[in-house]
Amino acid sequence: MKILYVVPQINSGDGISRVIAVKTNYLIENYNYEIVILTQNKGHDNLFFDFNKKIVFHNMNLKGNIFSFFYSYKNKLNSIIKKTNPDRIIVCDNGLKAFMIPFVIKTKIPLLLEIHSSLFIKETENNNTFWNNITAKMLFFYKRFGASKFNQFIVETPESIKEWNIKNSIVIPNPLWFSTNRVANLSQKKVIAIGRHAYEKDLIDCLKFGKK
């Protein structure tokens, strides 16, 4: 089995990079899968996590305005798919361009979308105006419509399946990269939140909730 992962980058210390490293290493070491990872703009240089040496990496350099970016993205994506000829294509990208892939690639290879975020995630805060609300609804429709065109839609929790409401959905929780025999006794009212200090993580509201 050969799997092609399409992902923006895997060279940071973020959660998606770790999950892909754990999954691909496991598939190679335990099932002898062939893994190909396609990134963009040198997204696999100077890897933060350990990836199996058998993994084949490809990269596509994408620049220019929105039209030249997407035109180049479409052409290079089709070129790599034709070159590698995988059995499955897994798109692991929360960006808007990921949802247009079923409409721009020329292949009958099963196409899977693996999402690691909420449908309603917002990268930046915006004003609650009429235009912003209309724009948000259009984006939600676009993402749902694009996701529905994949052969399989993969999320992390049952709650995400209810949120996205996409047919052919399946839950695959993130794998652990460690093991422990200790279990918390839940005797102390302390919560630790670890993540990037970015708007979409909503850490400020988490702190407010903790004070209630």
Domain residue spans of the chain: 2-179
Looking at residue 135, what is its pLDDT? 86
Proportion of the chain above pLDDT 90, given as a percent: 68
Residue 193 confidence (pLDDT): 75
Q: At residue 156, does pLDDT exceed 70?
A: yes
Which CATH number, 3.90.1010.10, 2.60.40.10, 3.40.50.300, 3.40.50.2000, labels domain 2-179? 3.40.50.2000
Residue 84 burial class via C-beta count within 10 angstroms: exposed 0-12, middle 13-18, buried 19 and up: middle
**pLDDT of amino acid 127:** 67
Mean pLDDT of 188-199: 75
pLDDT of residue 126: 64
Q: Are 52 and 35 in contact (CB under 8 A)?
A: yes
Condensed to tens digits (0 to 9), the pLDDT of residues 32-67 reads: 999 999 999 999 999 999 999 999 999 999 988 999
Dihedral sign for Cα atoms in the order 105, 8, 150, 24: positive
Average the pLDDT over each of 67-71, 118-122, 208-212 and give the range with the smallest value. Answer: 208-212
Q: What's the confidence (pLDDT) of residue 120? A: 85
Check pLDDT > 90 for residue 208.
no
pLDDT of 2 higher than 70: yes
Closest CA to 115 of 73, 159, 61: 159
Backbone angles phi, psi at 68, to 5 degrees: -70, -30
pLDDT score, position 200? 65
* pLDDT tens column, 176-187: 888 888 888 888
Q: Is residue 210 scored above 60 in pLDDT?
A: no
| pLDDT tier, 189 (very low <50, low <70, confident <90, very high otherwise) | confident
pLDDT-based confidence at 151, cuts 50/70/90?
very high
**Confidence at residue 84, expressed as pLDDT on a 0 to 100 scale:** 97
Total length of the chain = 212
pLDDT digits over 82-137, tens only? 999 999 999 999 999 999 999 999 899 999 999 998 898 766 666 678 788 888 88
Q: Cα(2)–Cα(27) distance, rounded to whole angstroms? A: 10
CA 147/CA 149 separation, integer angstroms = 5
Find the helix or strand (DSSP H, E) in which 6 lies. Answer: strand 2-6
